[in-house]
Structure 1
Amino acid sequence: MRIKTYEADTMQDAMDQIKQDLGPNALILNTRQVTKSVKWFGLAKKHIIEVVAGIATPKRTASESSSALVPVPTIDSPADQSEDSVVEGKTVEAIALRNIRSALDDVYQHQIERGVNKELSQRLVYILDDIISNAISHNRKLETKTIRQDFNDRLSQVIQVSGGVDFNVEEQQVIALVGPTGVGKTTTVAKLAAVFSVLNYKTVGLISIDAYRIAAYDQLKTYAEIIGLPVELALSPQGARDAIDKFADQDIIIVDSVGRSPNHQIHMAELHGYMQVIRPTEVHLTVSASVKFEDLVRIVDRYKTLDVSRIIFTKLDETVALDTVVNGAYYTKYPISYLGVGQTVPDDLEVADIEKMSNFLLAKQDLDKVLERLNEPI
């Protein structure tokens, strides 16, 4: 066996040296932290990692052994060395992966504590494990930036984010917002209208089909007057069709739908009749980020007959966690389009992006701890 001693500032640096010199199948025979003088007369000292590693050498034939006998090196263990510092028969990769997976257990527990669905948490930890394991096996340097980017890329396959409305589409877009009462649909319609018209210079027409709450139409009308947009109240499916025809020259039409309980079958049937006539190009299910996951499941089940294509989460300013958002996106498979983070029009509307989801699911401190484990003595 070929045996060498390596010194490095961190465990990861030592592992990199060993893999470069002896290869990934090298065995870690011993590790310890030592103090080394770094200035004249030993006035300044620093702590470093000392690792003893070895690699098996090819077996010699009898003739080769008799003609070239080489003494087997021995290792003298320091007097202050404890048994726990000795790890025999472990390869460089095995040691690194053991440390990483211990840290990933903590990541999983933190996700569960934040309310993330168990199945989703397991899947995300598997993704992170796979990313780091591949980096180690291919001898790539583990850095926060690259791991985060790889995680975001893989996360986008688990939780879909559609981003905002595509303004490059030449055809007229009809965007309908549906959802239970009290989630802030009318305010969200006003935010979208302001973003589309004021910030992106699109012509926008607004339609309210909430015949049960005239106050909702009055609120939307007030917003429309401030922004300078036309608005129509449709009291029937035919009235909605007439309003669509009236806005034929508008780039985008936004429909504010009736806000009623999804458990009310008659009102849901009426809304379905409206949607059949309006034929929206996009249907955004709008729900509050503070709703319980069990209620979200019921809401999604009720509204799925409306051909929902996107989901908007509102009232993020009323909750400190994004568990409903990530769990809802994972469960529904609907791409997240926008996030409502307050009442201000239009500032408190954010285009959903995967980075925001990533930062919640894999907190910076958790990722830092995972990488720190690589630098711990074994």
Structure 2
Amino acid sequence: MKVKKYMAPSMAEAMKRIREELGSDAIILSSKAVYIGGFLGLFKKRNIEIIAAIDPVSQPNQMVTKQKTKKLPVKQEISSNSTVTQEGNNESADLLKELEGLKDMIKTIQIASERHYPGKLQKIKDYLTEQEVDVQLRSQIMDELLGKWFALKQQSTDEEVQGWLEEALFEVLEKAQNGKPGLQKKYINIVGPTGVGKTTTLAKVAAETMLRHGKKVAFITTDTYRIAAIDQLMTYAKILNVPIEVAYNLEDLKKATERFSHYDFVFIDTAGRNFRNPQYVKDLSEIIDFTDEMETYLVLSLTSKQKDMEDIYRQFASIPIKQIIFTKADETSTFGAIFNFIHAHKLGAAYITNGQNVPDDIEKATSSQLLKTAFGAKKYERSS
């Protein structure tokens, strides 16, 4: 094995150096806070001291000592049980003492090299892997948890370790604004590919705006590629008793916006394929200013693959996306995409849906609600 001591101003910096020098399979043997410098015992700087190790199996050459040891006097024998009696052997005695102290650590390394993390943390890593959390984000979270694990001398319970994970994921979510849909502009544009529940989601948001906030709303659909989509939105309009216009072209859309000029909000259901055409976006922007008059929400299904979500996001990159709406939370048991997407793009979620019922089955996607969705029925008393 190769064991090395690191000193850094923060755990993150220490982990970075360890990964660069020893690789991602390195194991943390111990960590503690140390204070150095200062004047007359004051103003000392806090640093993190970490002892890390790497399994030599994959890197046998690293076992070779880079520094030559001092030549010992003739007939001196060094072993774990020997007693050093000759002059000039203090350094050797210290070395033997350190090696003796590392005996238990070696056992830890052997176990950890097979499982990569101590038992309780391995369960967390397995969970994140099963949830399809991105490798980079997963490593970042595990580094943070590993630091806490050794800082507390490996005495933490399963519940405490679970709490660390929830705190780490909560911090990821809090880097974006979640659960606070603006609805500050007149036109609410709902975009997304076919099959993600876009039309149903539009109806849910409109119903909440009308029933809970007393606003006057209307519908416009430009998704004329699918007759079923028009019929579906017309049904919702009838149930909610709100007007609807079908815009087959830009001229129809212009007339519809004029008709609904005195309404508080106009919800627009669009065909996802339109936004592949730059000319369509250009023409539409001549009628409605995407920046000053419209808020656009991108609908992503949690049943989609991560790569598909990224492709969809790029497809709609020609218009400003305010927030994401995650749908079909009830149709999957894998929620890593929520954390991956928010972490990668720093783009918050406005709503999350978990069924077909209108106006129910929709929640504001606060960070606490997203955590609750990912961890099941567990309650979170966080404000976000």
| Bigger shift: residues 338-347 or 243-252 | 243-252
Report matched runs for 1:132-151 at 5 Å: 150-151=167-168
Asked if the contact 1:290/1:324 (under 8 Å) is kept, the reply is no
Distance in 2, Cα, partners of 1:133 & 1:248: 62
Q: Higher RCO, 1 or 2 (CA under 8 Å, sep at least 6)?
A: 1
Residue 154 (structure 1) aligned to one of 171, 175, 181: 171
Asked if the contact 2:173/2:343 (under 8 Å) is kept, the reply is no
Match of 1:323 in 2: 336
Distance 1:271 1:316, change over 3 A: farther
Residue 165 (structure 1) aligned to one of 164, 181, 186: 181
| Bigger shift: residues 190-199 or 277-286 | 277-286
Letter in 2 for 1:117: D
Letter in 1 for 2:338: V
Letter in 2 for 1:112: T
Distance 1:349 1:326, change over 3 A: same
Asked if the contact 1:132/1:147 (under 8 Å) is kept, the reply is no
Residue 225 of structure 1: how far off its partner (Å): 1.5
Name the SS for the 1:107 alignment partner: helix
Match of 2:300 in 1: 287
- Matched residues, percent identical? 29
Letter in 1 for 2:332: T
Question: Does residue 1:209 correspond to 2:222, yes or no?
Answer: yes
Distance 1:362 1:307, change over 3 A: same
Match of 2:124 in 1: 107
Asked if the contact 2:216/2:264 (under 8 Å) is kept, the reply is yes
Asked if the contact 2:199/2:269 (under 8 Å) is kept, the reply is yes
Match of 1:336 in 2: 349
Match of 2:320 in 1: 307
Name the SS for the 2:299 alignment partner: strand
Question: Does residue 1:221 correspond to 2:230, yes or no?
Answer: no
Report matched runs for 1:220-259 at 5 Å: 220-259=233-272
1:86-114 Cα distance to aligned partner (Å, 9 max, x none) = x9699xxxx9xxx9x73334312320122
Residue 181 (structure 1) aligned to one of 194, 197, 208: 194
Distance 1:121 1:152, change over 3 A: closer
Distance in 1, Cα, partners of 2:131 & 2:164: 22
Name the SS for the 2:224 alignment partner: coil
1:128-164 Cα distance to aligned partner (Å, 9 max, x none) = 4566778x59xxxx96898578546522345x34214
Letter in 1 for 2:200: T
Distance 1:156 1:226, change over 3 A: same
Distance in 2, Cα, partners of 1:120 & 1:148: 12
Name the SS for the 2:300 alignment partner: strand
Residue 176 of structure 1: how far off its partner (Å): 0.5
Distance 1:215 1:198, change over 3 A: same
Asked if the contact 1:275/1:306 (under 8 Å) is kept, the reply is no
Name the SS for the 2:205 alignment partner: helix
Distance 1:229 1:361, change over 3 A: closer
Unaligned runs of 5+ in 1: 1-86, 366-378
Distance in 1, Cα, partners of 2:264 & 2:351: 20
Asked if the contact 2:169/2:339 (under 8 Å) is kept, the reply is no
Residue 195 of structure 1: how far off its partner (Å): 0.8
**What is the TM-score with the length of structure 1 in the denominator?**
0.59
Name the SS for the 2:296 alignment partner: strand
| Bigger shift: residues 119-128 or 200-209 | 119-128
Name the SS for the 1:338 alignment partner: strand
Match of 1:298 in 2: 311
Match of 1:270 in 2: 280
Distance 1:221 1:146, change over 3 A: same
Distance in 2, Cα, partners of 1:155 & 1:110: 17
Letter in 2 for 1:274: L
Letter in 1 for 2:288: I
Question: Does residue 1:260 correspond to 2:273, yes or no?
Answer: yes
Letter in 1 for 2:121: L
**What is the TM-score with the length of structure 2 in the denominator?**
0.58
| Bigger shift: residues 317-326 or 300-309 | 317-326
* Number of equivalences: 265
Report matched runs for 1:12-51 at 5 Å: none
1:6-29 Cα distance to aligned partner (Å, 9 max, x none) = xxxxxxxxxxxxxxxxxxxxxxxx
Letter in 1 for 2:198: K
Match of 1:126 in 2: 143
Distance 1:238 1:111, change over 3 A: same
1:36-88 Cα distance to aligned partner (Å, 9 max, x none) = xxxxxxxxxxxxxxxxxxxxxxxxxxxxxxxxxxxxxxxxxxxxxxxxxxx96
Question: Does residue 1:352 correspond to 2:365, yes or no?
Answer: yes
Match of 2:88 in 1: none
Distance 1:238 1:129, change over 3 A: farther
Match of 1:193 in 2: 206
Distance 1:156 1:329, change over 3 A: closer
